[in-house]
Each structure stands twice: as structure tokens, then as C-alpha cells.
Structure 1
């Protein structure tokens, strides 16, 4: 292995250590709620296990189909002898490793005077620091970096957007050729748009804008026009590919746009920003992002290299476009703003030049960093395993009772998702609303074919029941934060499906 290979191996080793440290920290904090227990966060696990089980399925998904996320989770679940939480923990580490790989692609080839591996590792480290400042349990908080560790909140789209910038940069950096990068770009755009239309907003729109500006100002118009065509064609193919899957898409992307509510959206996101800045860790995270944005603007103005300038411009233009667009469309979801966390990090890899330091100091810095990462990563493995293996006696009480009952019950979305995932047969818990209508949202609609249930699971998040027929439970089973209302031989009819 040559020196270049050693550098790359050292970079990936360092990235693994940073990923382990970050995943262990978040899994050991209150933010672990989003990794292991949040109702939304469990859809990929439920979907993947349904596909692995084989047989017919009739899933009701949102506008997001979770194609890459499901493929990764299913692969891990099939290969690793781990429980669900263990797979989710490993998945979190792999998401960060994949982000490092994408950053390494963006950083470009190693050239004289450049250090792309070191800057890519620094980029992942800074992103991880931002993630570790995020400590709330809320999925709606303006804590965006840590969402990339989940299987649900668009980690595949984040990585695909960064990869797309990398493919474009690699083509621009080559005097000739770049055919493989173009093929990978069209495939990434197609699969990512098929999976999540947000790719078009996070990657296609800003890259199209930047490539169009370069096309007007540059003499290398053939290559720029080719890049633009490939990107747009890949995105169009992805949208076309969604047409045969409409039966599984219960709400299109257009359904989330409510431009008449832009003022409410502005007030909503302003409130999230104020909440984020009200804590010391939030201020730290905000200062890091602000510094990265300033660096991105500086490099856009000062760097002459076309590829580097495009990356630097993407790092600040994309957050601006996404923030303005989210308000203009009247959206109310923090997860749509994730480019505010990952895009500024690209400023670090836009121009990965060597920082000149004395040889002895450089060797000391490399050695100390390596030792710290090695020990930090090693110590994080048992910490992450402990967090993933933590017992949940209340959930276990519910799943054991349901598995032993040999009957079918129901529960509302935020209540039933966690025990449903951990059941031997998830179909034994049907997802319903407070009126016992089938709630066809992020679930297999075949569950509703049972037609009736004989018990209900509830917790503090359960909306008071309005049952279709008068009924009094024969027994109320106490399972800590859960209660099981057991109606015994009596059954409650399910109402029509809604989403």
C-alpha cells in the first residue's frame, strides 16, 4: 500500500472513530428518543422487516419511500444477530461513515499542496460536533445534524445531495473525461428523487442555479451543459419512477405546500430558532454554522478554481434557498431545513489546501489526534452497545402480553408504533385513530383486514377514545407508561381507513 492508500485508510479509520463517538453520545442522551423510540423514526425498521418477511404487502407511505434507507437497514438486519435497537445503532454509525465518504468525494483528488483526506475528516468532525450539541427529545426542534443518524429523517437524501456535489466537482476538476461520474450522478439523482422529492430541492435546484451561472460565464459550456442535462434528466427519471408507486404514496409532495400560510411558517421557524438559541449548546452549534457560512462566502469570492467555487457557493446558497423556500411554501417541519446543518460543512472541503506547520508539530498533532480518536472510538463501542441494549420494561410488558394473548388489538399512532415493531407478529397491533378508524399512515394496510379488535393499548399521548360502540374493559393491565384495555370476548369494530 502506497502513501496515498495509507492516508485514505487513516481517514476512514478516523471517520469510524468519530462516527462511533458521535453515535454513542447521541444514543446516551435524551436525543436517543429519535434513534430508538420515536413513532416516526421506526418506519424504516417496520417497512424493512415486512419486506424481509416476504409475502404480499400494501403499505401506506408518505411522499418519502425510504429506498436507500430501507435497503441499508434490511441488509444490516439480515446479516447482524442484533435486536432492532442494535441495528438502529449500527445504522447510525454507517450513516456518518457514508457522509464522510461523500465529503471525501467532494474534496476532490489529492494534488500537490492539497490534503483532501484531512479536510474531509475535519468536515465530519465539525458536523458531529454540531450533532452532539443537540440534546432535546423533540423531532420538531431545530436540531438538524443529529437527524442524519436516524433511519427515517432523510439520511439517504442528505448523503445523496453531498454525493451529487462531489460528482459535479469531480467532472469540473478533470480536463477531459468524467463519464463514470456522470453515470453516477444520473443514478443518484434518479434513485434519490424516486425515494424522496426533497432531493430536487436540496440538490437539483441549487446545483442547477450554480451550473447555469457558470454556463453563462464560462467558456467550458459543453461540459457544464452536459452536467446540467444529466442532473435534470436523473431528477426527471426519479419523478417518473414514482408514478407506478402511487398506490403506496398516500400524500404527494405538493400536499405539503401551503403558500398562503407563509406568515405562520415564518413565525414557526422563528420560534424554533429562538428555542435553539436559548441554550448554551444551541449557541455553540449556531456559532459553528455561522462560521462555516462565513467561510463558504469567503471561499466563493476568493477562490479561482471552478470546482472549489461551486462547492463553496453550494455551502451557503443551499441553506438560503431552502430556508426561504420552506417559509414561502408555508411548511411547518424542522426536518425540511436539514441543509442548514450539512451544506455549510462543505465549505471545509471546497478548497482543501495544506496548512503549513513545522514538521515536528505536524507529526505531534497527527499522533495526538490519532490516539484520541482511537481511544475515544474504542470506549464508545461499549457505551453505544449499552444504550442500544437498554431494557424497556414497559414496552416489554406490552409486547409479552400481546404475543401471549393470540388476539388482535389496536392503538393510536404515537402509542402503538414502538411495541408494534417489537412484536413477533406486528399485525397483532392495528394502528387506529381515537374513533377506531383504521389510520393508514406509514403502515401496512393489510392490518385492517382483521375488521375488529378486542383490546386497546394507550399511554399519555393517546387521545381520549370515542368508541363506535359502548364498551367497558373486562380488565385494565398496568404496563408502566402503557395501559392495556382488555375487552375479553367482546370485540370492537374498526371503522373505515383514513390517512
Structure 2
């Protein structure tokens, strides 16, 4: 028992080291744009600010509610004495650690001849290697593993999907059914409530796998129980979204455009080609293909129901998700994240201990462990440096707005970063180019201001079409930003739209 406890603790320590190395690496590349500055990526931090400040919560979300992500970030914000970017950095590490915990569940219980902790660390290391090949600042790049480090791009849904796979594996391995059923239903409920994409990533493909698996007499009962729990949790999760209807400004139904499936193939083919234009992209492809090949091989070589289920899930889930994304005519790389997290599960489908002498195995583990821990320690100041990198242009805007004690506005991609870093974020209202309130991933309480007296713009700003004739009294240059100060002139806000 003591050795098991020590082994599990070492696994978490090594996983933490991997998480630090990966987060520091990604944060030190142009991909850091998604961690610290991307307009979409800031919504969870903005929501946490509203909760902790006690402002009225009248949020306009997308089809995703970000409930687990917001709970985590709000807790970190309340507990840690660091700035917003520091919280983003900590959250990135925690997200990778959470994925390790889910992978460890998938790996199953320790048995004679198996090393689930070691293989779980190897699996999260493989995932981290994929993330470290990703350097593009674009949210539309086919760079999927690094999205797990963000607060917005479905990190909780990824963890929920892997947890669901792990729970079903434990059920097939003979775990007590009642607690497993409740756990699986709860994961499905919370994940679907927060993000209905869970149904496409998890419920549909795992439902198909378990339904086919139920044709085998030996595993029929537990497969059907797992299928029932998964479906029940998903359905209840969808129903639980009804009370949040006022916050959901887009149900997601509009994203499905089956008649555009040919355009979808072209889109995904284009970003796939862009990924392969980089040697690191080729390396990531080779690693992914190797993991998928391992999953297929283990599908036909495993005589254990739990191991076979994991092996099947590791290649069938990403295959079905890609087919489904194309069939629905989607155009978003982030929908294909199972291509990054599912294949690594092949490494823990049957986590056999290496067949090498015990003393050599321990020495090898010690060397790798020390190297990871040292790498993790070295990565802490590197990650802190990336999180604390100055942004003089944004600081110029926030300093001016804070000192003005007035309310201004800006368009979505322009205004969100300075808005997040203000002492009072409501001083910057999110609008469109006609000064209508743009109710998208923002607290609609901001629109109560009614009027604004300055505008913030940058290269992404669409040319203004103001509701009244007005000329700015002054223009303040802040590097990539400009502040158009209208002084005593009050510009009226138009009706809200999303």
C-alpha cells in the first residue's frame, strides 16, 4: 500500500514537471497569443472578475458556458496573489495536470506486470510533445494539443471526455457498477451542460463503441449499463441548459451546415497542408500516426475487454469526430481536438511493465524522473517571465482609461485585452462599428452606461460609422492602439446584438 501511494505521488510530481515544461515552452512562442491575449481566450478571466467583484451577472455566452473552467479560474484568482497573466500561466499547468489525472484513470488499476503510473506519465509526455511542436499565434491553425493550455478552448470538455473513457474502462475491468454509473452520468451531465460539444466528442462515438461491444455476450451487461449512464447524463445535461437560456446567445445549431461539406474538406485540407509546411508539424504528424497505429494494433491484439475498449476509442473517436465535422460542414480547427488527446490513450490501453531487469528499470526511471523534475524547475522562471512580459501599448491604454474615470468603447478584437486589465472593466464597452452593443462573451451589464466619450481602435478595427457626427478633441497614440477622445461629446450606444 505504501509503495503504491509513493508511486502515485511520484506520478503526479512528474506530470507536474511535464506540465511546467510544456506551458513554459508554449508561452515562450507566438502561441502565447492564445494563452494571454486572444479575444476569445479572455472570457473566463473576465467572468471570474465579475464574480469576485460582485457585479450583476448578465452574461452573453456562446453555445459554451465554460462552467468548470470558470470555477477553476475564479478559485485560482481568489487564492493566488498573482496578476491575470500569472493566473493564465497557472491555469495552463493545472489543465495539463487535470488531463494527466484523467489519463491515469484510463490506465486502470495497478496489477502484477503492469505499470499504469509510468505509462500515464509517458502518455502525458507524448501529449506535451505534440503541444511543444505548436507555435502559431492563430486560433485557426491545426495545432490542437496546445489548446488544452488555454482557459477557453474546451479544456474541461477534453478532461471530461477522457474521464468518461476511463470510467467505462474501470467498469469493464470489474469495478463496482453503482458508483461508476453515477460518476459517468455526472461527468456527462456537467460536461454537456457546459459544452454540448461533449455529445459529439464523447457520447456519440462512445455510444457507438459500447453498442457494438454489447454484441459480445461476455461484456454485454456492463457495456449496456455504461451506454445507459452516458446517454442519461448527456440528455439531462442538455435539459439543464434550459435555465441558462438567457446566457446562451448561440445554441450552436447554426454551426451545422451539411450542404457545405465540400467547403469543409477544403478548409481542413488547407490547414492540414499549412501544418505540414513546418518540420515540427511533420514531427507531430508522425507521432500522431504512430499512436493511431498502436491503437489499431492493440485493438486486434488485446484479449482484455477494458484494454480493447481503450484501444478502439483511441482511434475510432478521432476518426468519427473528423467525419462528423466534415459532414456537418464545420470550419473550426478546435472541433478536431480529439485528434490530439484520444491517440495518446493507446499508450495506456495495456500498460505492461517493460521486460528489462528490475535494477535497470529503476535506474532508467530515476534518470528520466530527475531530468523531468530539473526541467520542470528550470521552466518555472521561464514561464513566469513569459507571463510577466510587458505590453507597453496595452498598458498605455489601460493607464489612460483608468485615469480618465470615464467610459469608452471598442470593437471585440480590439477592446478585450485592455478591458480585462482595467481596474474597472466596465469602463470599456464592447461595441460594433456602428456603436451598437456587441453582446458576445461579455457582461451585458456594461451596456447600462448608455453613452461613451472615447473610442479605442487598432489595425483590427472596422471603420467607424457613428450614430452622430462627431470629431475627436484629441487622439492619443498608444503604439498599436489609438484612443479617440471626444471630450464632452457623448456618443449614444445603439441596441444590443450578438
What is the TM-score with the length of structure 1 in the denominator? Answer: 0.98
In 2, are the aligned partners of 1:259 and 1:330 still within 8 Å (CA)?
yes
In structure 2, what is the Cα distance between the partners aligned to 1:41 and 1:177? 40
Structure 2 counterpart of 1:452: 451
In structure 1, what is the Cα distance between the partners aligned to 2:42 and 2:56? 20
In 1, are the aligned partners of 2:18 and 2:372 still within 8 Å (CA)?
yes
Q: Does 1:139 align with 2:139?
A: yes
Shift of 1:468: 1.6
Q: Does 1:236 align with 2:239?
A: no
- Secondary structure, aligned partner of 1:386: helix
Structure 2 counterpart of 1:46: 46
Residues 20/345 of structure 1: CA separation in 2 closer, same or farther (3 Å cut) = same
Gaps of 5+ in 2: none
What do the CA deviations read for 1:427-476 (whole angstroms, capped 9, x no partner)?
11000111111111001111112111110001111111111212111100
Most deviating of 365-374 and 280-289 = 365-374
- Secondary structure, aligned partner of 1:216: coil
In structure 2, what is the Cα distance between the partners aligned to 1:59 and 1:426? 14
Structure 1 counterpart of 2:420: 421
Q: Does 1:321 align with 2:320?
A: yes
- Secondary structure, aligned partner of 2:342: helix
Shift of 1:420: 0.5
Structure 2 counterpart of 1:219: 218
Q: Structure 1 segments of 4 or more deviating over 4 A?
A: none
- Secondary structure, aligned partner of 1:410: strand
In structure 1, what is the Cα distance between the partners aligned to 2:70 and 2:485? 34
In 2, are the aligned partners of 1:411 and 1:430 still within 8 Å (CA)?
yes
In structure 1, what is the Cα distance between the partners aligned to 2:176 and 2:495? 57
Structure 2 counterpart of 1:120: 120
Structure 2 counterpart of 1:173: 173
Structure 2 counterpart of 1:209: 208
In structure 1, what is the Cα distance between the partners aligned to 2:320 and 2:29? 32
Shift of 1:179: 2.0
Structure 1 counterpart of 2:276: 277
- Secondary structure, aligned partner of 2:215: helix
What do the CA deviations read for 1:196-239 (whole angstroms, capped 9, x no partner)?
00111111111101110111123343222211111100001100
In 2, are the aligned partners of 1:434 and 1:463 still within 8 Å (CA)?
yes
In 2, are the aligned partners of 1:170 and 1:178 still within 8 Å (CA)?
no
Structure 2 counterpart of 1:30: 30
Shift of 1:357: 1.1
What do the CA deviations read for 1:359-390 (whole angstroms, capped 9, x no partner)?
34323211211111111011011111111111
In structure 2, what is the Cα distance between the partners aligned to 1:178 and 1:95? 28
What do the CA deviations read for 1:137-169 (whole angstroms, capped 9, x no partner)?
000000000000000000000000000000000
Structure 1 counterpart of 2:407: 408
Structure 2 counterpart of 1:93: 93
In structure 2, what is the Cα distance between the partners aligned to 1:198 and 1:360? 47
In structure 2, what is the Cα distance between the partners aligned to 1:220 and 1:345? 24
Equivalenced residue count is 498
- Secondary structure, aligned partner of 1:497: strand
Structure 2 counterpart of 1:342: 341
In structure 1, what is the Cα distance between the partners aligned to 2:77 and 2:363? 41
Structure 2 counterpart of 1:295: 294
Structure 2 counterpart of 1:379: 378
Most deviating of 142-151 and 42-51 = 42-51
Shift of 1:118: 0.5
